[in-house]
Amino acid sequence: MVNRTDEHIRLPDGTELHAWLFLPEGPGPHPTVTMAHGFGGTKYHNIEPIARELAKAGFAVSLHDHRGFGDSGGVPRHDIDPYQQIEDWRRVVSHLQTLPGVDADRIGLWGSSYSGGHALVLAATDRRIKAVYSQVPTVSGSETGRRRVPPHLTRRLEESFAADERAQAQGEPPATQAFVSDDGSTTASYRATDAIEFYLGHSAPEGLWENKVTVQSNRRFRSYDPGHLIDQIAPTPLMMLVATGDTVAPTDLALRAYERALEPKELVLIPGGHFDPYLTGFETSTAAAIRFFGTHLRRP
């Protein structure tokens, strides 16, 4: 039996993050895993089943929405600032350390995709983290961005970023664009069929997630390279799960980053694309995470 409760985490600027806290059976304090969703998603995007499996395995689990998304507060909505999300996540860790059911000395990170990159940064810069699981992580937004946008279209993209900055300087709200779309005439962050199916197939209450993102979110993505800190994670244990056919967080970039990581580290490869760890590879990815956290967070 897993009990899910709501947690409200107030940040220094007054923004309130919403999290689900899953507590396992038995007396605490429990080893704890803190989880967050990836680029533009919410905790309703196929992550709760993973959290529940971790809780069934004996871990307290916190799953929060980033500011501006899902049940969390924050404006502007649908705006993604990776470094702000990382600092907010630090506050989540601090909040968890105050809870009676949490063992403050045994906290691990679970991140996937964009939050997989965040997890690398947090583990490298915060020694409260005792184990980090990074699934299909963003390791280089700059290199990924160059692959997604051909050189002859880069100037037009940069001009759209600058035009939005000028408009905001004159009092306009941040410009937005579609998050996923298969319409070639619509500007969108993702066009692949698997991305469209994943993001539109969420379980969020009506109106809680919208198919849009700020233009500046994409600009920040293109300069976000969390993989450059990967060699500073040790001695914190690292597990990276990489999909062999990933084009969203390219497989070769993830493997190259993993080579730079220091021991203790472990690599898990699964077949398929970026979203398969949540779907067809759910059992494999979840079992790997449970085994990893069991090894590094449980007391002897």
Q: Tell me the per-residue pLDDT of 52-62, one tens digit each, with 9 for 90 and over.
A: 999 999 999 99
Range with top average pLDDT, 25-29, 80-84, 148-152? 80-84
Percent of the chain whose pLDDT exceeds 70: 100
Residue 28: per-residue pLDDT: 86
Confidence of residue 124 (pLDDT cuts 50, 70, 90): very high
Residue 150 has pLDDT above 90, yes or no: no
Give pLDDT tens digits for 151-177: 888 999 999 999 999 999 999 999 999
pTM score of the predicted model: 0.97
Average pLDDT, integer, range 169-189 = 95
| Lookup result for tokens 């909040």 | 95
pLDDT at 48: 97
> Which structure tokens are listed for 23?
């507590």
Alpha-carbon distance 154 to 256, whole Å?
25
At residue 272's C-alpha, the angle toward residues 237 and 151, to 5°, is 90
For residue 227, the SS3 value is: helix
What tokens does 233 get? 């994670």
102-117 pLDDT, tens digit per residue, is 999 999 999 999 999 9
Q: At what angle do helices 48-56 and 282-297 cross, to 10 degrees?
A: 40
Read off the pLDDT of residues 24-47 as tens digits, 9 standing for 90 and up.
998 889 999 999 999 999 999 999
Q: Is the pLDDT of residue 300 over 80?
A: no
Mean pLDDT, the chain, rounded, equals: 97
**CATH superfamily, region 3-145+225-297:** Alpha/Beta hydrolase fold, catalytic domain (3.40.50.1820)
At 199 the pLDDT is 97
What pLDDT score was predicted for residue 151? 87
pLDDT of residue 294: 98
- Residue 184 pLDDT level (bands cut at 50, 70, 90): confident
pLDDT of 285 higher than 90: yes
The continuous run of DSSP H or E covering 195 comes out as helix 193-200
Q: How far apart are CA 140 and CA 112, in angstroms?
A: 14
CB atoms near residue 4 (< 10 Å): 14
Instruction: Specify the pLDDT at position 299.
Output: 80
CA distance 230 to 219: 23
